[in-house]
């Protein structure tokens, strides 16, 4: 029984959460954000099938996402025009199949090599598709994109999908199904071999597998799930345009997966939630949303390449051994110092955005309720002082953290040895 709860508890809990959340946060903005988060989770997990599980760094994953979206919206349009009858609930499947079909030729070409060659081909393919958007206006709809009305005559569940909350439940259903399938896939021989091919492409063939084929299957299946996410986005917004298929969407999913942590299955889920949250809220607060996300990405690459999931998992054993609380004071110090430095950087960024992008740079600007002149010197001095103080406070704290980590790891090792003895 305990094993059962351990195994399925997370899944049941997450599903329940998805049912309850829209009842707790019912506002239009919250529903939009949660829908977008769920779609982003599917997309980021499908991306991680390449980068995390298969060791293939792709810069063009949005091609399948976007293509799935376009095919889905065209299908909705056709159904609305009365060409045939099809329920909206299964439209994401059309997107998925479109992604899968497109991934077959593209995957065959690009998965012969991993590493840099793969990354370059993916980059070339995304540019190729972006160039095609303008050449094939009747499919891609040119600059303004393709739109359709998602309210169809017949649906399996009887829902009309006019309201955002109905669409959210549809997205949540597909999220649970896709996540479960992608998780199960990691447990199959294909999923295991993908890891083997990622870690050692020279030795993997000796077990008797064709590495090109393993990568190819992983790639096409990943295209399938990306297509499902694209189909869901098409339903959610009832419009698909070239932005969805291009390099920016591909870059965003890379950021999501990496910030979350590509080494663990749940990493991209965290990344997608955090990224979407920041993306949607920062837009309303500041012009510099992208710069903060980019800075977060760089910080993660430089100092925490395992991502948020990696940081969490590194503390798991300490937490279980009850030693985590000894790290808390130093972490709080680091947080304080980091915040000081961050505020310094933030003031500088905001001042510059005000000076370069606002209509009247000479008018006073507001930051945290304080009004000041952006082109006067006091805010600059404050920003530089904060940045400097934060930096010099952070340095000894980081040394202290490293020292404590070393201590704790040693203690843990001793404990393990003691248990064995």
Distance CA 395, CA 341 (A): 11
Distance CA 413, CA 421 (A): 12
User: Residue 294 CB, nearest distance to other proteins (Å)?
Assistant: 4
Query: Does 298 interact with other proteins (rule: CB under 8 A)?
Result: yes
Q: Give the residue with the Cβ less far from other proteins, 280 or 349.
A: 349
Least distance from other proteins to the Cβ atom of residue 257, Å: 11
Calpha distance 359→324 (Å, rounded): 50
Q: How far apart are CA 374 and CA 355, in angstroms?
A: 7
DSSP for residue 322: T
Candidate ranges 50-58, 267-275, 310-318, 370-378; the one touching other proteins (CB under 8 A):
50-58
108/118 Cα distance (integer angstroms): 11
Should residue 290 be labelled a site residue for other proteins when binding is judged by CB under 8 A?
yes
Two tokens, residue 161:
């999908």
Alpha-carbon torsion 89, 94, 95, 96, what sign?
Answer: positive
Q: Which is nearer to other proteins, 207 or 302 (CB)?
A: 302
What is the helix (H) or strand (E) element at residue 219, kind and residue range? helix 211-237
Question: Taking CB under 8 A as the rule, does residue 268 contact other proteins?
Answer: no
- For residue 97, how many C-alpha atoms fall within 13 Å in the half-sphere facing its CB? 8
> Is 349 near other proteins (CB under 8 A)?
yes
64 is a site residue for other proteins (CB under 8 A): no
Q: CA triplet 319, 272, 280: central angle to 5 degrees?
A: 120
Q: Among the candidate windows 34-42, 124-132, 166-174, 406-414, which touches other proteins by CB under 8 A?
A: 124-132
State which residue, 45 or 50, has the beta carbon closest to other proteins.
50
Q: Extract the tokens encoding 231.
A: 């189909």
Closer of 139 and 209 to other proteins (Cβ):
139
Which of 176, 288, 391, 404 is close enough to bind other proteins by CB under 8 A?
288
Determine the Cα–Cα distance for residues 282 and 276; give it in Å rounded to an integer: 10
Residue from the set 131, 207, 328, 370 that interacts with other proteins by CB under 8 A: 131
Beta strands in 6-134 (DSSP E): none
Looking at 21, 80, 101, 113, which residue binds other proteins (CB under 8 A)?
A: 113
Q: Please give the angle made by the CA atoms of 13, 19 and 21, to the nearest 5 degrees.
A: 95
Q: Does 291 bind other proteins (CB under 8 A)?
A: yes
**Minimum CB distance to other proteins, residue 21 (Å):** 31
Q: How far is the CB of 157 from other proteins (least distance, A)?
A: 36
Binding residues for other proteins, per CB under 8 A? 51, 55, 57, 59, 109, 113, 115-117, 119-121, 123-125, 127-128, 131-132, 134-139, 247, 251, 254, 258, 288, 290-291, 294-295, 297-298, 301-302, 305, 349, 352-353, 356-357
């Amino acid at each position: 029984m305990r094993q059962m709860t351990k195994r399925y508890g997370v899944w049941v809990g997450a599903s329940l959460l998805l049912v309850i959340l829209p009842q707790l946060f019912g506002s239009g903005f919250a529903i939009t954000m949660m829908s977008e988060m769920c779609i982003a989770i599917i997309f980021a997990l499908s991306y991680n099938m390449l980068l995390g599980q298969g060791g293939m760094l792709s810069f063009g994953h949005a091609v399948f996402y976007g293509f799935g979206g376009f095919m889905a919206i065209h299908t909705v349009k056709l159904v609305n025009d009365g060409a045939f009858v099809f329920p909206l609930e299964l439209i994401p499947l059309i997107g998925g199949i479109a992604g899968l079909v497109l991934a077959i030729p593209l995957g065959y070409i690009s998965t012969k090599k991993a590493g840099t060659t793969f990354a370059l081909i993916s980059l070339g393919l995304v540019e190729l598709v972006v160039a095609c958007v303008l050449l094939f206006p009747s499919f891609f709809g040119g600059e303004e994109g393709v739109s359709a009305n998602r309210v169809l005559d017949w649906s399996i569940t009887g829902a009309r999908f006019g309201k955002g909350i109905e669409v959210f439940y549809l997205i949540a259903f597909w999220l649970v199904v896709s996540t479960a399938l992608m998780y199960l896939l990691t447990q199959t021989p294909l999923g295991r071999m993908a890891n083997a091919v990622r870690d050692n492409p020279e030795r993997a063939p000796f077990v008797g597998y064709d590495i090109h084929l393993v990568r190819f299957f992983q790639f096409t299946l990943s295209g399938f799930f990306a297509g499902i996410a694209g189909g869901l986005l098409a339903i959610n917004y009832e419009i698909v345009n070239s932005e969805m298929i291009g390099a920016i969407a591909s870059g965003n999913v890379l950021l999501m997966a990496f910030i979350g942590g590509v080494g663990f299955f749940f990493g991209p889920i965290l990344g997608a939630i955090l990224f979407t949250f920041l993306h949607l809220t920062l837009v309303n607060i500041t012009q510099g949303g992208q710069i903060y996300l980019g800075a977060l990405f760089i910080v993660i690459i430089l100092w925490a390449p395992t991502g948020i999931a990696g940081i969490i998992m590194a503390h798991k054993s300490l937490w279980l051994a009850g030693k985590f609380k000894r790290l808390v004071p130093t972490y709080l110090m680091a947080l304080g110092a980091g915040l000081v430095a961050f505020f310094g950087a933030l003031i500088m960024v905001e001042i510059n955005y005000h000076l370069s992008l606002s209509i009247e740079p000479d008018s006073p600007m507001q930051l945290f309720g304080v009004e000041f002149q952006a082109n006067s010197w006091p805010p600059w001095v404050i920003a530089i002082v904060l940045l400097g103080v934060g930096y010099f406070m952070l340095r000894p704290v980081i040394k202290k953290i490293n020292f404590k980590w070393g201590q704790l790891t040693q203690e843990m090792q001793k404990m393990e040895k003691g248990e064995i003895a």
